[in-house]
Amino acid sequence: MKRNIKVLAFAGIVAFGMAGTNTVYAQKKPAKGKAGAPTTPSAAPAAAPKKEGIKPFSEVITSKAKATNGLFKTYRLEDKWYFEIPDSIISREMLVVTRLAKVPAGVKVGNQQYGGEQLNEQVWKWERRGKQIYIRVPSYSTKADPNSDMYQSVQNSNLAQILASFDIKAYNKDTTGVVIDVTDFYNGDVMAIGATDQIRKAYKVTMYDAARSYIDTVKTFPINVEVKTAKTYRAAESPTDNSNGAVTFEFNTSMLLLPKIPVKARIMDSRVGFFGQSQTDYGTDAQKAERTAYIHRWNLVPKDTNAYKRGELVEPVKPIVIYIDPATPKKWVPYLIQGINDWQVAFESAGFKNAIYGKEAPTPQQDPEFSVEDSRYSVVRYFASDIANAYGPHISDPRTGQILETHIGWYHNVMSLLRNWVFVQTAATDPTVRKPKFTDEQMGELIRFVSSHEIGHTLGLPHNFGSSYAYPVDSLRSKSFTDKHGTAPSIMDYARFNYIAQPGDGVTKLHPQIGEYDKWAVKWGYSWIPGNKTAEQEKEILNQWVLKNAGNPAYFYGRQGTTLDPRLQSEDLGDNAMKASAYGIANLKRILPNVEKWTFQKGKDYSDLKEIYTEIVSQYNRYMGHVTTNVGGLSENFKTYEQAGPVYAYLPKAKQKEAIAFFNQQLFTTPLWLINNQELSKFDNGVLLNRIKSVQTNTLGNLLSPSRIARLLDNEVKNGSASAYTLPELFRDLKTTVFAAGRADAFKRNLQRAYVDRLADLMTKENEMPPGFPAEYAASYGLTPINVGLSDIRPLVRAELKTLLATTKARAVAGDAITKAHYEDLNIRIKDILDPKK
């Protein structure tokens, strides 16, 4: 499941004043519109508001005002809203989060389409200058200790932007605070607390319509203020009805007071997986601008520190409590709660008991003030969505990484995804899933599994794509082993369900659980270290913990996103992709002929048969991806100076040759088992066989990509041709099956053309990198840069083409009509590549 990460920018803004108001706020620079057409908003300068002076409190806040006490005292006077800001809050930092509260049906903007999804996150500081109050938005990208020589220089280069300006309307009764009118600010077109640029572009917003917008509620609590607004935008398109000429959203903006004294941060370590944030620290003794990174974690402190020191399990002063959205179907609530509570065992490894638990949200009768948008509460939000997904974000203090709350996104249709995964990966060994619909208990357990995974993200844990490599393939066929360990040491891997276990193995525990790595990561990130040590001193202690477990695959962390290391892959299992995938394919061969029988539903069409059959092809393609990464693969083991051995090491030649042998057997030899005409005749209109061809040609193209070849050449230079798997060997091994003797069927002919076309690309095209990607950064994710024209690639490809020229010429003189035509065509194509001028 994805974790939603928002990167916020404060750029391209201009001051914009609204005539007739005393509020000025930062706004995105408007785009030019056609003559006579409104733009967003008008670029015409507004007249400066007339200063009315500071009035007595009773003249501004009359007896008719409705007051509420909290972080700010708030007042409502007819359609006006006022904040009373105490002097003690001036210059305090506040985390401000804006979320969608309600949306129209049919919104299609990724992660911005359901009530509860986050739109923006900023830190605000209320600043007073003379008769004005400003909202500033500080940045935490750079820092220096206030006592260091660099502090003032850093401050001079890190000016906090001004988001809004307000006139002081009055002093409060005892002059310990000021009163400002926030009506026009919250009811205005401020992107930080309204529709994002993505929403505006998607629906072609032309301008904000204040007449159809309003402030719904303002609620104030001891440490936060919650403002709910309805905002209407004039728009050329609408998710529901274009005739309205507008689109309306409801937003909730939470303003949460950050701790006056920031908690102690924990310094990141690349060998243990945590989300985090980095800053350039100019206050260190390092003789350079040093980057310091802190992990994201909740602040857990033991209630009884002496008992904690004695090694007893102790409850935290403030546990992590996550509520379940009242909109959640009742039958799934216990499973979502159990998925949360499953993490208690991990926190026990850090010395805490009852550190985390889930709860049903209180009813309005139990707590009329409770709101799922309230920033004091963490919530699993349930979305009525046909998207098959879930995600677990969190909000953290940008000064220290302290996690303050989470709003997990749970899409209703994730159940469809779970059902397909389980069916395709385990139906060969688990008779209980051979049906079109699972029982509530079966689906509930799957929901519990995904709930635990998403909660891991809210605790600061990213995906650990290296975890599933820890277990030997054959161990995953053992009932005793899987009963104890599940499918991987971490539930944070994408180690789905046990596709390796074979019928007769007796394996019944087929999905992941909170594992050894999860307990270790929570211990490393959340253990309370006594002695009032600094973050740097704690880093030394934590480093010793890492060194103690170094080399144990159960405690290995592998990052997401790179295609360098075959251990770090999505949805794989076991320590050998070739062996694991062969087992997986054996099970697919058992499932496919039975799909119609196992998905049968009286009176229904064959859409379910089509869906599962397509999923089987997708799973087969997934296995091909797992194996591909072994060719030109590098193991990546982050280390510190005191650890011996390489950080990067190429896979042995034998392992890479094993991968090509797998392809020759399972892919490039036509997988006829995927072609079940009896089932295909029920739904396929000529599409699916082309998908199988695409799996073959796309995998071949990936094997012969410039980035992968670049690593083959690099390996040969560093380790010699005797140890390295070379490009000529790759050509030779591929051709044993792609150009095997005998009549080529339609799939093989398609594959041979793809092989020649790929060689043509290598002769004519450069290795394109994503725009803006530095070479070193691209290489770290497997996009190894290489200048194809200046490398050894084209001489070797030219030699390969000449060999193929002879092969195709010899084969073009014999065989049936299609065979002769095919090889004559290939021969001409190769000649054109070698001599394009002819």
Over residues 482-508, the pLDDT tens digits come to 999 999 999 999 988 999 999 999 999
Please state, as a whole number, how many other Cβ atoms lie within 10 Å of the Cβ of residue 424. Answer: 29
The pLDDT of residue 186? 96
pLDDT on residue 49: 43
pLDDT digit string (tens) for 104-125?
888 888 888 888 889 999 999 9
In this predicted structure, the answer to whether residue 643 has a pLDDT above a threshold of 60 is yes
CA atoms within 13 A on the CB side of 758: 21
Those residues whose C-beta lies under 8 Å from the C-beta of residue 35, and which sit 6 or more positions away, are none
For residue 599, the 8-state DSSP code is T
Q: Count Cα neighbours of 478 within 13 Å in the Cβ-side half-sphere.
A: 11
Give pLDDT, residue 36. 35
Distance CA 794, CA 756 (A): 14
The DSSP bridge partners found for residue 468 are none
**H or E element, residue 620:** helix 607-628
Nearest CA-CA partner of 77 in 61, 88, 90 = 61
pLDDT at 287: 43
- The secondary structure of residue 71, as a DSSP letter, is S
Amino acid at 825: D
Task: State the Cα–Cα distance between residues 13 and 567, nearest whole angstrom.
Answer: 45
- What is the structure's pLDDT at 138? 87
CA pair distance 378, 555, nearest whole angstrom = 29
3-state secondary structure 107-152: CCCCCCCCCCCEEEEEEEEEEEECCEEEEEECCCCEECCCCCCCHH
Mean of pLDDT values over 517-530: 97
Give the mean model confidence (pLDDT) for residues 556-577: 95
**Which residues, 6 or more positions from 585, have their beta carbon under 8 angstroms from its beta carbon?**
620, 623, 666
Amino acid at 400: T
pLDDT at 41: 41
pLDDT tens per residue, range 142-182: 655 666 655 566 566 567 889 999 999 999 888 889 999 99
pLDDT of residue 188: 94
- How far apart (Å, rounded) are the C-alpha atoms in residues 551 and 492? 20
pLDDT of residue 82: 97
d(CA 470, CA 487): 10
pLDDT tens per residue across span 188-223? 999 999 999 999 999 999 999 999 999 999 999 999
Cross-strand partners of 323: 359, 379
Supply the pLDDT for residue 318.
97
Query: Residue 13: is its pLDDT beyond 50?
Result: no
> pLDDT, tens digit, for every residue of 286-310?
444 466 889 999 999 999 999 999 9
Closest CA to 526 of 612, 621, 408, 403: 403
- Any idea what DSSP says for residue 469? G
- Rounded CA separation 406/296 (Å): 12
Q: What amino acid occupies position 62?
A: T
> CA–CA distance from 448 to each of 96, 224, 415, 658, 812 (Å)?
31, 32, 11, 38, 60
Q: Is 677 in contact with 735 (CB distance < 8 Å)?
A: no
DSSP assignments along 814-828, one per residue: SS-HHHHHHHHHHHH
What proportion of the chain, given as a percentage, has pLDDT over 70?
90
Cα three-residue angle 178-124-163, rounded to 5 degrees: 85
- What is the distance between the alpha carbons of residues 424 and 594, in angstroms, rounded to a whole number? 11
pLDDT of residue 284: 53
Q: Is the pLDDT of residue 539 over 80?
A: yes
Q: Quickly count: other Cβ atoms within 10 Å of residue 728's Cβ.
A: 13
Residue 160 DSSP symbol: P
Terminal-residue alpha carbon distance, the chain: 53
User: Tell me, what's the pLDDT at 29?
Assistant: 37
Check whether 30 has a pLDDT greater than 80: no
**How many angstroms separate the CA atoms of 440 and 332, rounded?**
8
- pLDDT value of position 280: 62
Q: What are phi and psi of 448, to 5 degrees?
A: -60, -45
Q: What is the mean pLDDT of the chain?
A: 89
Q: What angle do CA 771, 774, 775 make, to 5 degrees?
A: 110
pLDDT of 4 > 80? The answer is: no
Q: What is the pLDDT of residues 88-100, one digit of tens each?
A: 999 999 999 999 9
Residue 402 per-residue DSSP state: B
In the structure encoding, which two tokens stand for residue 282, read together? 């100019």
Cα Rg of the chain, angstroms: 31
Residue with the larger pLDDT of the pair 768 and 318: 318
Whether 519 has a pLDDT exceeding 80, the answer reads: yes
> Measuring CA to CA, which residue among 351, 456, 421 is closest to residue 571?
421
* Among the listed residues 425, 496, 421, 468, the one whose alpha carbon sits nearest the alpha carbon of residue 574: 468
Report how far residue 596's alpha carbon sits from residue 110's, in angstroms, rounded to the nearest whole number.
Answer: 34
User: What average pLDDT score do residues 760-772 get?
Assistant: 89
Beta strand segments in 23-117, E: 23-28, 66-68, 73-77, 80-86, 93-102
pLDDT tens track for 255-285: 999 999 999 999 999 999 999 987 665 455 5
Would you say how long the chain is, in residues?
838
What DSSP string describes 263-309?
A: PPP-B--TTS---EEEEEESSSSSSS-EEEEEE-B----BS-HHHHH
pLDDT category at 232 given cuts 50, 70, 90 is very high
Report pLDDT digits (tens) over 402-444: 999 998 989 898 999 999 999 999 999 999 999 999 999 999 9
Check whether 458 has a pLDDT greater than 50.
yes
The per-residue DSSP string of 688-699 comes to HHHHHHHHHHHH
DSSP 604: -
Which tokens is 218 given?
Answer: 């303002």
Record the tokens describing residue 224, joined without a space. 């936060």
Cα 747–Cα 751–Cα 757 angle in degrees, nearest 5 = 145
Return the pLDDT at 148: 61
Q: Across residues 570-589, what is the average pLDDT? A: 97
| pLDDT > 90 in the chain, percent | 78
Separation CA 564–CA 633 (nearest Å)? 5
Phi, psi of 250 (to 5 degrees): -105, 135
Do the Cβ atoms of 373 and 485 come closer than 8 Å? no
Is the separation of the CB atoms in 403 and 351 below 8 Å?
no
State how far the alpha carbon of 256 is from the alpha carbons of 193, 224, 378, 400, in Å: 14, 4, 13, 16
d(CA 11, CA 28): 8
Cβ atoms of 169 and 82 within 8 Å: the answer is yes
CB-CB neighbours of 491 under 10 Å: 29
